[in-house]
Structure 1
Amino acid sequence: MVSKTSSAKVVLISAIASGQGKTTTTAALARKLIKLGQSVRVFKTGPDFIDPMMLERASGATVQSLDLWMVGLAASQAMLAQAAAEVDVILIEGVMGLYDGTPSSADLARAFGVPVLAVLDASAMAQTVGALAMGLRDFGPVNLAGVIANRIASEGHAKMVADAMRDIALFGSLRRQDQALPERHLGLVLPQEVAQLDSILDQLADQLELDIEAWDRLPLTEFALPETPELPLLLLGKTIAIAQDAAFAFIYPANLECLRQLGAELVFFSPLADQAIPLQAYALYLPGGYPELYAARLSEAGLWQASLRTAHAAGMPILAECGGMMVLTESLTDQQGRSWPMLGLLQGRVVMQQRLAALGAQALVTEQGELRGHTFHYSRFETDLMPLARTVKHATQADGEAIYREGNLQASYFHAYFPSNPGAAAHLFLK
């Protein structure tokens, strides 16, 4: 039996740390290659919701997560293989620094034989960019294809960086941006909040000086196309209502696809628009997002609040993740210290804070096996409720986020990645 393969030009875009401009550079490169007539697919390493939204706008295609632990080696390979069969170029944006985390971006690059492009912020240095590049290449080592120097001040500055690269290729440079992609406490702002975003992305693409000859010399990466088994239709005939707007925007595209493959029909509604839960809904999914930015509007959205209280009283299965859980408490105190009444289905209050409260990969042990995911939040839940269970931190195996249960409502700061255990995910939405 001859195995089917696919191939494409693939690079993993990483850096020495967060804040070097990986997302901006990846977005600029994706948009530039598309302008040059290439078909492009972008992936994001590790758990993330916001960067993929921005990269989706830059590339025009859904951005999935790759992760050797949360997503898994086989599933990551399957997505890369499928993408390689459909496009010319695959860009994978790394997470944090190249070697940070377990598993790291470097681990992912080595697992699939993918070359690395390092984005290095040159704004406060010149020749030292070459030393950093050599260190990134040799520490692992990884197959470092080259460097894109970010925040270059002038042609002279660019020449000093280029002269210092020695045997490492300088693939390109990006000038200091007058219009950078804006950020807030959880990362970039959402794409729909950025005025003239496509014009900014086009400008970044035009400002990216790319060595086309060096790019063309990159080899193709080949992937085996695995057979993907069909999922059991555990949610066949079930309609799941999903809150989706600027307050509830943190949803893995793979989660939605997993629910559909399990047989569910998905309907979407907006609490911010004061829309009630659709009448045909069997279950409700309240994902994470930025409810703290819209607490005033959510506290006054009487129609959606009434429909949620009615649904809960009637025993509707409800899954609330992070921001979704925050609105179900008695009150939410925002970062300006203002307190807003919420739905009161969970005893206690949520308080925003300036420092990070939790971050990292975690897993929930269920009767159907381990359901993997992550946590990332800047608030704390002050409550006397006793948790039904706790997640397990991947790095240390210590207790992670509390899982709360009230009737058929399950709530936590934990963001689950449904394809890591579709059976466990299905049971979250069953009575």
Structure 2
Amino acid sequence: MVMRPSAARVVLISAIASGQGKTTVTAALARKLTTLGQRVRVFKTGPDFIDPMMLERASGAPVLSLDLWMVGLEASRALLAQAAADVDVMLIEGVMGLYDGNPSSADLARAFGVPVLAVVDASAMAQTVGAVVTGLRDFGPVSMAGVIANRIASAGHARMVADAMQKVPVNPIPLLASLPRQEQGLPERHLGLVLPDEVAQLEHILATQAGQLALDMDAWNALPLTQFESLESAESAESAENIREKKPELLKGKTIAIARDAAFAFIYPANILCLKALGAQIQFFSPLADEPVPDQADAVYLPGGYPELHAEILSQAQQWQASIRAAHTLGLPILAECGGMMALTDSLIDQQDASWPMAGILSGRVIMQKRLAALGGQAWLGNAGELRGHTFHYSRFETSLRPYHHTHKHTQKQSSHNASDEQGEAIYRDGNLHASYFHAYFPSNPVAVARLFSGETL
């Protein structure tokens, strides 16, 4: 395949920690550049469902994941190269703090030669921003493109930060932009941001934040372009997602029904692309609207989401519940991830301690809790190889069911190449139903995914 170099202005947006406003700043910058006529593409580092939805609304384009472990080095490189051929700007939102995790956002920036744009919550500091950003730059080190000072109180406050950045010893770091304190920000809940469709006046919020972002266009335009090797002809995202080796259409002729609504919203866009690349037809349906599993479905995918916030409605969705029980009885392959699994249990106890009956396929009850139950990268190891993904949930499943298998954790101490031997999430199997808190990233192993949706075991 012929390759040609392509270049775009690329920055990885990171911070010293979570809570600094990375997503707000990334969304504001994406919207501002888009309104200025720039072709913008946003990526999200690490496992995440909700931030990409918000960033898609801000940028107007799908937001795919980049991760040196879950997605893989070469697949991530292919996604960047493909985007660089079509856009002017690529923004990569990091995860947690710049150096947190294995691999970290800094690791990704260095792997692809991408400079870092540091977001700093300057609400309780001014000149000290210079020390913070110098430390971020030099600890790794990383190439530092500049700073965006968030939650600025006034123009004078912004000038103090800018002056401090010029006093940074050896290669002063520019203040590229500042964003004032927001009267109306992006609302959050226990798993992160509130879903975009649930945020009142979201377009107004995004437009306001973009308008308030004071961007130094001269400093921005002075940033160097990052060059990638890209495909000479336009390729589909499906081929980029299946970079490891082109797979045959193992799901050709099959229709996969996917639950998609406010209760089942945690779906990697890459997972849909992967299923289509494997030849599957996709049909969405809404359990919240009491829609049954489509009659033509050959398999069912129940992704994660917020069933705990919609438990009462799901408990009354008799047509949906009857249809998923019938699909299970008929032996249709069903993959239920996290929230999808929760909806198949006997009951769900929500944050207010109310108990709601669910579909009753998996014996046991799910109990919401205030404490985080699990978080991190994991892999499902089977005879088709390693299917990678992650887990992130605030509930526990009390059941007498014996797990069919367990995932393996990707620990912070190991290299980025393989999962560890440390036991992760339980995987339950009942006939052709596989259910777990584990969220799979399908392109990491398309063959394993095809086997799951064909009724084969891993």
Q: TM range, normalised to the smaller chain?
A: over 0.9
Deviation, 1:28, is 0.1
Deviation, 1:3, is 3.6
CA deviation profile, 1:7-37 (whole Å, cap 9, x unmatched): 1100000000000000000000000001111
Q: 2:236: which partner in 1? A: none
Q: 2:225: which partner in 1? A: 220
Q: 1:196: which partner in 2? A: 201
CA distance in 2, matches of 1:341, 1:399: 30
Could you tell me whether the CA contact under 8 Å between 2:116 and 2:146 is conserved in 1?
Answer: yes
CA distance in 2, matches of 1:239, 1:110: 41
Q: 1:24: which partner in 2? A: 24
CA distance in 2, matches of 1:360, 1:236: 33
Deviation, 1:2, is 6.9
Match of 1:242 among 237, 252, 258: 258
CA distance in 2, matches of 1:336, 1:127: 45
CA distance in 2, matches of 1:230, 1:67: 20
Deviation, 1:225, is 2.2
**CA 372–2 in structure 1, closer or farther in 2 if over 3 Å, else same:** closer
Matches within 5 A, 1:332-411: 332-395=348-411, 397=420, 398-411=422-435
| SS of 1:247 mapped into structure 2 | coil
Match of 1:231 among 244, 247, 251: 247
- Answering whether residue 446 of structure 2 is matched by residue 430 of structure 1, we say no
Deviation, 1:125, is 1.0
Could you tell me whether the CA contact under 8 Å between 2:387 and 2:444 is conserved in 1?
Answer: yes
| SS of 2:157 mapped into structure 1 | helix
CA distance in 1, matches of 2:230, 2:119: 30
CA deviation profile, 1:270-326 (whole Å, cap 9, x unmatched): 000000111000000000000000000000000011111111011010000000000
| SS of 2:324 mapped into structure 1 | helix
Q: 1:321: which partner in 2? A: 337
Q: 2:275: which partner in 1? A: 259
Q: 2:33: which partner in 1? A: 33
Could you tell me whether the CA contact under 8 Å between 2:387 and 2:440 is conserved in 1?
Answer: yes
**CA 2–426 in structure 1, closer or farther in 2 if over 3 Å, else same:** closer
- Answering whether residue 334 of structure 2 is matched by residue 310 of structure 1, we say no
| SS of 1:119 mapped into structure 2 | strand
Could you tell me whether the CA contact under 8 Å between 2:271 and 2:442 is conserved in 1?
Answer: yes
Q: 1:181: which partner in 2? A: 186
Amino acid of the residue matched to residue 89 of structure 2?
V
Could you tell me whether the CA contact under 8 Å between 2:334 and 2:453 is conserved in 1?
Answer: yes
Deviation, 1:5, is 1.8
Amino acid of the residue matched to residue 426 of structure 2?
A
Amino acid of the residue matched to residue 454 of structure 2?
L
Deviation, 1:195, is 1.1
CA deviation profile, 1:378-398 (whole Å, cap 9, x unmatched): 000011111111000011621
State percent identity of aligned pairs: 73
Deviation, 1:213, is 0.5
Q: 2:287: which partner in 1? A: 271
Deviation, 1:418, is 0.4
Could you tell me whether the CA contact under 8 Å between 2:127 and 2:164 is conserved in 1?
Answer: yes
CA deviation profile, 1:71-91 (whole Å, cap 9, x unmatched): 000000000000000100000
Amino acid of the residue matched to residue 308 of structure 2?
E
Amino acid of the residue matched to residue 360 of structure 1?
G
Q: 1:300: which partner in 2? A: 316
Amino acid of the residue matched to residue 73 of structure 1?
L
| SS of 2:262 mapped into structure 1 | coil
Match of 2:438 among 387, 410, 414: 414
Q: 1:143: which partner in 2? A: 143
CA distance in 2, matches of 1:299, 1:3: 53
Amino acid of the residue matched to residue 263 of structure 2?
A
Could you tell me whether the CA contact under 8 Å between 2:84 and 2:230 is conserved in 1?
Answer: no
CA distance in 1, matches of 2:351, 2:181: 31
CA deviation profile, 1:113-165 (whole Å, cap 9, x unmatched): 00000000001111111100000000000001110000001112112111111
CA distance in 1, matches of 2:320, 2:140: 52
CA distance in 1, matches of 2:150, 2:120: 6
Please, what TM-score do these two structures have when normalized by structure 1?
0.99
Deviation, 1:209, is 0.4
Amino acid of the residue matched to residue 312 of structure 1?
H
**CA 64–2 in structure 1, closer or farther in 2 if over 3 Å, else same:** closer
Amino acid of the residue matched to residue 215 of structure 1?
W
CA distance in 2, matches of 1:329, 1:272: 16
- Answering whether residue 57 of structure 2 is matched by residue 57 of structure 1, we say yes
Could you tell me whether the CA contact under 8 Å between 2:278 and 2:450 is conserved in 1?
Answer: yes
CA distance in 2, matches of 1:87, 1:138: 30
Deviation, 1:332, is 0.4
Please, what TM-score do these two structures have when normalized by structure 2?
0.93
| SS of 1:371 mapped into structure 2 | strand
| SS of 1:307 mapped into structure 2 | helix
Deviation, 1:230, is 3.1
CA distance in 1, matches of 2:163, 2:35: 29
Amino acid of the residue matched to residue 131 of structure 1?
A
Query: Please, which runs of 5 or more residues in structure 2 have no aligned partner?
Result: 232-239, 414-419
CA distance in 2, matches of 1:362, 1:155: 46
Deviation, 1:343, is 1.0
| SS of 1:303 mapped into structure 2 | helix
| SS of 2:453 mapped into structure 1 | coil
CA distance in 2, matches of 1:6, 1:341: 54
CA deviation profile, 1:374-417 (whole Å, cap 9, x unmatched): 00000000111111110000116210000000111100000000
